[in-house]
Amino acid sequence: MSDLRTVFAEIRNWSWRGNARLSCATIAALAAVSVLVLASGCQRASLDARPKADISPGQLSMFSPLQALPAATGVEALKVDLGRRLYYDTHLSANNSTSCNSCHQLAKYGVDPGQAVSRGFDHKPGGRNSPTVYNSGLQFVQFWDGRAASLAAQASGPMMNPVEMGMPGTEAVLAYVHSNVNYVKQLKQAYPDQKNPVTMENVTDAIASFEGRLLTPARWDEYLKGNQQALSEDEKEGLRVYLRSGCASCHAGAGLGGNSYAKLGVFENWPDLKSDTGRMALTHQERDLMYFKVPLLRNVVQTGPWFHNGNVQTIDEAVRLMGKHQLGLDLTASEVTSIVAFLNSLTGPIPQSFIEPPSQQKVTARIDGLKREIDLRVNPGAERGE
Amino acid sequence: MRKIGWIASILIVVFLLALQVDKPNYEMTPVAPEQSVEAQLHPSSQVQHILQQSCYSCHSSQAKIPWYGNVWPTSRLLQSDIRRGRARLDFSNWTNLGPEMSRIRMLDACRMMREEKMPVWYYRAVHPGSAPKPDETAAFCSWAESLPNGRDEVQLSWAPLSSQSIAPLPSESKQVE
């Protein structure tokens, strides 16, 4: 109590007049800080200005190189081969027009080039942009909203989707597979322990076995393994900008993405919050509004148009929008160019021999108890000019 | 001369008071407990303590905002730091990360603490004792190293179809509503 009294006495004795100069200085200092904060608020958030700083091994530890898988052998090789045939088989759609390859074209980096959204078996537009199938096995979940836990779980989705391949159900898919003597033979060989191997599980497992091997190691992987020459100076500069601006917060790991969900529009709302709500449409949870699986950046320069609705036409614009909405940065044109230069180093060669379509062939099969010729050509519809 | 000083002081005070209208929004919305890093990764109590003492002010939605966080201009600084911090790393929202990214973020946090880049220098200056001690950093890092390496699992992610793993398509679920 007596302490308090002394404090009050101090305050009473404290001459405001005598300390006016001091308080003026304090207020002036506060004002100066305020002006600085105001100024920095108005200015764009600038990036660390050390363009030639070394890329530390610590930063690179957020990534891991892609190892090419050893060639499949034995039963696994049979599954891969079966999966490849199924991938190209248009009979897995309602009107024999559409295969996996129709929208995820293996010769075109696994996408439907130039299409914002792909058109399904009867030309109706799909809901979202066709993501690339290359390296998709690296992802922790599949689809833009992650509604499938694995490649196998993903594979049956489009077959039965009323817009995509339009098969009425698993029975229809299995009836077709059953009718194809080659498939039945291959399934028996690939799943020798099973009494009836003609199951949806095995069909999707075979497709997944093929898709899981669609990996595209690139120059970036050589760089990660220690070859400094694998990236050009421009690409390394791009990597520095990529790291400085914080792209790697989400686009890290073996695939540079594909291992988390993120909200589209963190610092600034995405302009369209209505037509696609992202994961919220799946989970019905408000907190999932505009959350999408972070896409992989491998081959990203080749997989346009970009984003879930394919509305962005150039990679430069895609990078600029990411800076603006996800990082709160107005990337300059030269920073964007730099980042795109780096992204180019993530493009790996397409494994041509591995994706070679199965030979054009007709086989005899039984449908509805009758012997019929089945056309196993890649895309019979293409000849009719569809 | 003294008069000008007084007028200037009053003007500055009025200016500062006027700027207090700029109310910060820290978006400290409560999140489901099962979304937190504690529920997802079950760190030891020591690691939890480090996270809370060194990281949560800017990297969680459970931060206690100090009084100066509601006073301009410091409110501006805090708001921008917390926003930026949570955009990159949010310990209250860990369910959005796959195992690979979960491990990457923790190893990155370890590196930031080791290199004394985090907590940021001005946070450490204002909050003495917030920086983890070397043995705490070491404990955190060895825990982060022990997290499952998603990469190995990723290679096997084309696992067989399980019956419950296909959720309805958004278009279908809309029709149901």
Give residue limits of the domains in chain A: 2-67+217-344, 74-214+354-378
Q: Rounded distance, CA A343 to CA A298, Å?
A: 8
Check CB contact under 8 Å for A281 and B174.
yes
Nearest chain A residue to B9, by CA: A24
The pLDDT, as a whole number, for residue B162 is 30
> Which of helix, strand or coil describes residue A197?
coil
Check CB contact under 8 Å for A140 and B100.
yes
* CA distance to partner chain B, nearest, from residue A103 (Å): 18
So which residues of A are the catalytic ones?
164
State pLDDT tens for residues A125-176. 999 999 999 999 999 999 999 999 999 999 989 999 999 999 999 999 999 9
Give whole-number Cα distances, A18 to A15, A324, B9, in Å: 5, 51, 15
- To the question of domain A2-67+217-344 being in CATH 1.20.210.10, the answer is no
Nearest to A208 among B8, B88, B158 (CB): B158
The DSSP bridge pattern shows strands A291-293 and A362-367 to be: unpaired
**List of chain A residues whose C-beta atoms are within 8 Å of the C-beta of residue B97:** 259-261
Q: pTM for this structure?
A: 0.80
The pLDDT, as a whole number, for residue A374 is 53
Check CB contact under 8 Å for A259 and B101.
yes
The pLDDT, as a whole number, for residue B156 is 38
- Positive or negative, the CA dihedral A364, A365, A371, A375 is negative
- Residue A316 DSSP one-character state: H
Q: Does the ipTM exceed 0.85? A: no
Nearest chain A residue to B8, by CA: A24
State pLDDT tens for residues A305-330. 999 999 999 999 999 999 999 999 99
- To the question of domain A74-214+354-378 being in CATH 1.10.3720.10, the answer is no
The pLDDT, as a whole number, for residue A385 is 36
**Tally of CA atoms within 13 A in the half-sphere of A108 that contains its CB:** 16
The pLDDT, as a whole number, for residue A373 is 55
The DSSP bridge pattern shows strands A261-263 and A291-293 to be: antiparallel
Digit-by-digit pLDDT tens for chain B (177 residues) are 778 888 888 888 887 777 776 677 777 777 788 888 888 888 999 999 999 999 988 898 888 888 888 888 888 888 888 888 988 999 988 999 999 999 999 999 999 999 999 999 989 998 888 899 999 999 999 999 999 876 554 443 333 333 223 333 333 333 332
| A74-214+354-378 and A2-67+217-344 share a CATH fold | yes
Could you please report the per-residue DSSP string of A84-138? HHHHH-GGGSTTS---HHHHSBGGGTTB-TT-SS-B-TTS-B-SS-----TTGGG
Nearest chain B residue to A157, by CA: B166
Q: Rounded distance, CA B104 to CA A61, Å?
A: 8
Give 10-residue mean pLDDT values along chain A (386 residues). Answer: 51 46 54 56 44 73 86 91 95 93 95 93 92 95 93 91 92 94 94 95 96 94 93 95 94 95 94 92 92 97 95 96 95 97 96 85 52 49 38
